[in-house]
Homo-oligomer: A and B are copies of this chain.
Amino acid sequence: MATVNDVVIKIGTVNGTGSASANGLLRKSIFRMGVPVVGKNYFPSNIQGLPTWYEIRVTGDGYQSRSNRVDVMVAMNAQTYAKDLADVATGGWLIYDSTWPRSRQLDRDDIMVMGIPFSRMCNEHFDGARARILMKNIAYVGAIAALLDIDLDIITSLIEETYAAKQKLIVSNMEAIRLGYDYAMEHYSCPLPMRVEKMDATEGHIVIDGNTAAGLGCVYAGATVGAWYPITPSTSLMDAFRDFCLMYRHEPETDKRTYCIIQAEDELAAIGMVLGANWMGARSFTPTSGPGISLMSEFIGFAYYAEIPAVIFNVQRTGPSTGMPTRTQQCDIVSCAYASHGDTMHVLLFPGDPAECFDMAVQAFDLAERLQTPIMVLSDLDIGMNDWMVPELEWNDDYVPDRGKVLDAEELEKMEQFYRYLDVDGDGIPYRTLPGVHPKGAYFTRGSGHTKLGAYTENSDDYQDVVDRLLVKWETTRTLVPEAEIRYSAFNKAAILTLGSGDGACKEALDRLEAQNVGLNYCRVKAFPFTDAVRDFIEKHDVVYVVEQNRDAQLRTLLINDIDADQNKLVSLLHYNGMPIHAGFVVEGVLAEIAKGRAA
């Protein structure tokens, strides 16, 4: 089957051997040919010596999720050779390092296996153990370039850009590319029937991971205080924030920093710092993952009740407990929505790709200050650490940050008396003051019972008054959070509803189902609480397939609990094995339900 721009390349290596830059080079060169790509990393929770894979999906159609198929496997890791061999789709290809002989048992008839002596060639051409290993990686890029017809000029210019300052490296890298390229050209009929061809579908797009985009969003939102405790897979978010701050955040005259990143002693401290900074009027955030959320939960409840803004990025990984730190899931939805003891409810945002990580980072700060409550951005490892093609990030210089209801010195001066928790405007949102602004603004922030005036209380009515007003605020919240992405067609009585990184797989599934004459509407929620449009959407359908990446149907739980969505309509399709969801899972799930008699 000859196909163009629809091929999945998977490269198996050993972690710590520097294959990341080779894989990036390959992915970028395809992108520069104008062909959409998806890049996924499957790496172990380990530093050096264990198997790791990088998967590039070349998708002329511009799909965003992984495919569950491997067409071209580059099996560089002898340890996983058997598994890698087994993973290739019928009719596919496997490339291995033929420097060392391979057991006859390790063969398949239905695929084509190609040996290329990467190690031998590199040992002959390069000196030093480190260089030989690195160049072996570059050499397989050359081989793939030949096999898939990737433009060598583009590869060359990418290498030149990367090593602009190190001429020598350009030469050696190009040499390694040539080694692989030439060997493949010589020994195999290139290109393969599955190949890459220039097109024009990447204009105005970038390839970026969600953590980088979110870190950049924090810079643009004007965040100044970042507090965190390292945890996979959220670490690179703060790394990105730091890198961008190094570029953009120094006072011109003094070169002093206009940001403050604090590596906290743990997550309890990180969230405490974020609350202190936001209380003081700085925009402050913390990135974390599941275990961090558990540890932060006492403080999150405090912030809900004392009404302190905060932005928390939860880059979810596979739970429960330590779980699989380098695998993805959407498994903290319930624990975030109701984090902390007592009656609490928290605002969640669900970015669907890195571009939304950028946008929602900014929205999160605006909402946090507007609503005076923690906003949790629920990304996941798939979005946060993988390479997504998205439209270029946009910024509007007219952006005016929403600082919410903060009284300044002048306003306070004019007031008779300031009361912290009064619902002056009827929207459930009180006014706040910042320390150091005016003596009249002073009040006592506490997580213990308080009256609407801000005084300590153990009185039943006064207590209830405040927690009831928080419900009014919740309804206001519903009107302020980002609207869901909805695709309607009046004819469909069935629909798919998903969130976050389920977007790509679901959209691809919609196309595939459509092709099988199964028409479905679509809704991707972007926030909790759910908007009225989501409520309407569910009401308008007979069946709503709720696609999410956890075992316990957590999104479904929230839909029923928050907007009383009809439990009988909501049919769960749950993917939770730690790998990113793919369209096939959704298609099969829907078809199986239909086969069982469920309406399409």
Please determine whether A44 and B458 come into contact, CB atoms closer than 8 angstroms.
Answer: yes
Q: Which residues of B contact A457 (CB under 8 A)?
A: 324
Tell me the bound Cα distance from A448 to B321 in angstroms: 7
Candidates B45, B341, B550; contact of A332 at CB < 8 Å = B341
Task: Knowing A306-B321, A321-B448, A551-B471, say if A326 contacts B291 (CB, 8 Å).
Answer: no
**Copies of this protein, total:** 2
Please determine whether B338 and A467 come into contact, CB atoms closer than 8 angstroms.
Answer: no
Identify the stretch in A111-119, A132-140, A557-565 within 8 Å (CB) of chain B at 4 or more residues.
A557-565
Chain A positions 414 through 442: 1 when the CB is less than 8 Å from some CB of chain B, otherwise 0: 00000000000000000000000000000
Q: Which residues of B contact A345 (CB under 8 A)?
A: 552
Please determine whether B301 and A294 come into contact, CB atoms closer than 8 angstroms.
Answer: yes
Task: Knowing A460-B577, A463-B578, A578-B463, say if A342 contacts B324 (CB, 8 Å).
Answer: no
A103: CB under 8 A from chain B?
no
A471 — nearest CB in chain B belongs to which residue? B551
Tell me the minimal C-beta distance from A320 to chain B in angstroms. 3
Q: Which residues of B contact A291 (CB under 8 A)?
A: 298, 341
Candidates B304, B324, B449; contact of A449 at CB < 8 Å = B324
A241: CB under 8 A from chain B?
no
Please determine whether A324 and B448 come into contact, CB atoms closer than 8 angstroms.
Answer: yes
Tell me the minimal C-beta distance from A54 to chain B in angstroms. 16
- Residue in A45, A321, A457 whose Cβ sees the most chain B Cβ within 10 Å: A321
Number of interface residues of A (CB under 8 A): 64
Q: Which residues of B contact A344 (CB under 8 A)?
A: 319-320, 335
Tell me the bound Cα distance from A332 to B554 in angstroms: 18
Please determine whether B338 and A335 come into contact, CB atoms closer than 8 angstroms.
Answer: yes
Q: Which residues of B contact A567 (CB under 8 A)?
A: 560, 564, 566-567
- Residue in A318, A343, A564, A578 whose Cβ sees the most chain B Cβ within 10 Å: A343
Chain A positions 461 through 474: 1 when the CB is less than 8 Å from some CB of chain B, otherwise 0: 10110011001000
Tell me the bound Cα distance from A357 to B282 in angstroms: 48
Candidates B44, B293, B341, B564; contact of A319 at CB < 8 Å = B341
Q: Which residues of B contact A343 (CB under 8 A)?
A: 319-320, 331, 550-552, 554, 576
Please determine whether A323 and B560 come into contact, CB atoms closer than 8 angstroms.
Answer: no
Candidates B339, B447, B552; contact of A323 at CB < 8 Å = B447
Tell me the bound Cα distance from A305 to B320 in angstroms: 6
Please determine whether B305 and A464 come into contact, CB atoms closer than 8 angstroms.
Answer: no
Q: Which residues of B contact A324 (CB under 8 A)?
A: 448-449, 457-458, 463
A313: CB under 8 A from chain B?
no
A-B contact pairs, 13 of them (CB 8 A): A291-B298, A302-B322, A318-B342, A318-B449, A320-B447, A321-B447, A322-B447, A324-B449, A325-B448, A329-B342, A332-B342, A335-B342, A560-B567
Please determine whether A331 and B320 come into contact, CB atoms closer than 8 angstroms.
Answer: no
Please determine whether A341 and B463 come into contact, CB atoms closer than 8 angstroms.
Answer: no
Please determine whether A320 and B304 come into contact, CB atoms closer than 8 angstroms.
Answer: yes
Q: Which residues of B contact A39 (CB under 8 A)?
A: none
Q: Which residues of B contact A552 (CB under 8 A)?
A: 343, 345
Please determine whether A298 and B304 come into contact, CB atoms closer than 8 angstroms.
Answer: no
- Residue in A324, A329, A345, A557 whose Cβ sees the most chain B Cβ within 10 Å: A324
Tell me the bound Cα distance from A117 to B338 in angstroms: 53
Please determine whether A319 and B342 come into contact, CB atoms closer than 8 angstroms.
Answer: yes
Chain A positions 247 through 286: 1 when the CB is less than 8 Å from some CB of chain B, otherwise 0: 0000000000000000000000000000000000000000
Chain A positions 522 through 559: 1 when the CB is less than 8 Å from some CB of chain B, otherwise 0: 00000000000000000000000000001110100100
Tell me the bound Cα distance from A329 to B323 in angstroms: 33
Please determine whether A579 and B45 come into contact, CB atoms closer than 8 angstroms.
Answer: no
Task: Knowing A297-B297, A467-B576, A551-B471, say if A290 contacts B342 (CB, 8 Å).
Answer: yes
Tell me the minimal C-beta distance from A231 to chain B in angstroms. 11
Tell me the minimal C-beta distance from A512 to chain B in angstroms. 22
Tell me the bound Cα distance from A576 to B331 in angstroms: 30
Tell me the bound Cα distance from A45 to B458 in angstroms: 8
Tell me the bound Cα distance from A45 to B450 in angstroms: 13
Tell me the bound Cα distance from A564 to B576 in angstroms: 21
* Chain A stretch 307-335: residues in CB contact (< 8 A) with chain B: 318-327, 329, 331-332, 334-335
A295: CB under 8 A from chain B?
yes
4 tightest Cβ-Cβ pairs between the two chains A and B: A319-B342, A320-B342, A321-B447, A290-B341
Candidates B301, B331, B341; contact of A341 at CB < 8 Å = B331
A340: CB under 8 A from chain B?
yes
* New A-B contacts (14) at CB < 8 Å, excluding given A319-B340, A332-B342: A45-B448, A290-B341, A318-B342, A318-B449, A319-B342, A321-B448, A322-B449, A324-B457, A327-B463, A335-B344, A343-B576, A464-B577, A467-B551, A468-B551
Please determine whether A320 and B338 come into contact, CB atoms closer than 8 angstroms.
Answer: no
Tell me the minimal C-beta distance from A464 to chain B in angstroms. 5
Q: Which residues of B contact A448 (CB under 8 A)?
A: 45, 321-325
Q: Which residues of B contact A550 (CB under 8 A)?
A: 343
Tell me the bound Cα distance from A338 to B553 in angstroms: 13
Please determine whether B327 and A342 come into contact, CB atoms closer than 8 angstroms.
Answer: no
A289 — nearest CB in chain B belongs to which residue? B341
A560 — nearest CB in chain B belongs to which residue? B560
Q: Which residues of B contact A297 (CB under 8 A)?
A: 294-295, 297, 335
Q: Which residues of B contact A323 (CB under 8 A)?
A: 305, 342, 447-449
A446: CB under 8 A from chain B?
yes
